[in-house]
């Protein structure tokens, strides 16, 4: 679909699936999380260099389902040391700005927790979150997520200054994920 539409699409998968997915697709594959661990005694940890060796080009850190807390800065540093592209999730524009200033990840994905997995997108319910995030974090540095389900949501997010969207439940819970993905990509053309 990325080749067909020209859309910049990446997928974030479990560390257990990175090699299999990266071997099967031509789009960038991100690992859903990495730890600060280094090679050695790291039972149960996801070593950033191992994720990269398995085919990951980046990582998604601090997602609402895997918040990191006080150690986030170290996770970002370790991921960047391994050469991974780093996307960090934040609940608010202010949190995103603080993370960006402290650790300089490649992108910040702002997702208001009360809208995640819901039926109303951040573009509709809280457009000021998007424009505020762009204002605080910078143009070209912000993705948004939470409730994004269709081309209108994507188009509005881009109009408000976001560089793209972060998706999960809008695709995974859809009856026809492929059709939904095509609709979402159509939103890129209307911005």
Question: Which of the following is catalytic: 33, 63, 114, 159?
Answer: 63
Per-residue DSSP letters for the chain?
Answer: -HHHH-----EEE-GGGHHHHHHH-SS-EEES---S--SSS-TT---HHHHHHTT--EEEES-TTS--GGGHHHHHHHHHHTT-EEEEEESSHHHHHHHHHHH--SEEEE--GGGTTSSS-HHHH-HHHHHHHHHHH-TTSEEEESS--SHHHHHHHHHTT-SEEE-SHHHHT-SSHHHHHHHHHHHHH--
Please name each of the domains of the chain with its CATH number. Answer: 2-189 (3.20.20.70)
Catalytic residue check, 159: no
User: pLDDT of 124-159, one tens digit each?
Assistant: 999 999 999 999 999 999 999 998 989 999 999 999
**Does 99 have pLDDT greater than 70?**
yes
User: Is 33 tagged catalytic?
Assistant: no
**Catalytic residue of the set 33, 54, 91, 111:** 111
Give the confidence band of 190 by pLDDT, cuts at 50, 70, 90.
Answer: low
Over residues 17-41, the pLDDT tens digits come to 999 999 999 999 999 999 999 988 8
pLDDT tens for each residue of 63-73? 999 999 989 99
């Amino acid at each position: 679909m990325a080749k067909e539409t020209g859309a910049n699409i990446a997928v974030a998968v479990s560390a257990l699936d990175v090699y299999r997915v990266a071997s099967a697709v031509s789009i960038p594959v991100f690992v859903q999380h990495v730890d600060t661990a280094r090679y050695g005694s790291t039972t149960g940890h996801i070593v950033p260099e191992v994720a990269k060796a398995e085919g990951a080009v980046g990582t998604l850190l601090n997602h609402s389902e895997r918040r990191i807390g006080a150690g986030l800065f170290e996770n970002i540093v370790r991921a960047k040391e391994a050469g991974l592209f780093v996307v960090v999730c934040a609940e608010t524009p202010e949190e995103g700005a603080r993370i960006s200033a402290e650790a300089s990840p490649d992108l910040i994905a702002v997702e208001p927790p009360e809208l995640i997995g819901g039926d109303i997108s951040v573009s509709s319910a809280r457009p000021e979150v998007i424009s505020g995030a762009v204002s605080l974090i910078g143009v070209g540095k912000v993705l948004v997520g939470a409730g994004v389900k269709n081309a209108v949501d994507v188009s509005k997010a881009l109009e408000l200054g976001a560089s793209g969207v972060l998706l999960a439940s809008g695709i995974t819970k859809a009856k026809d994920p492929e059709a939904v993905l095509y609709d979402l990509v159509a939103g890129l053309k209307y911005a």
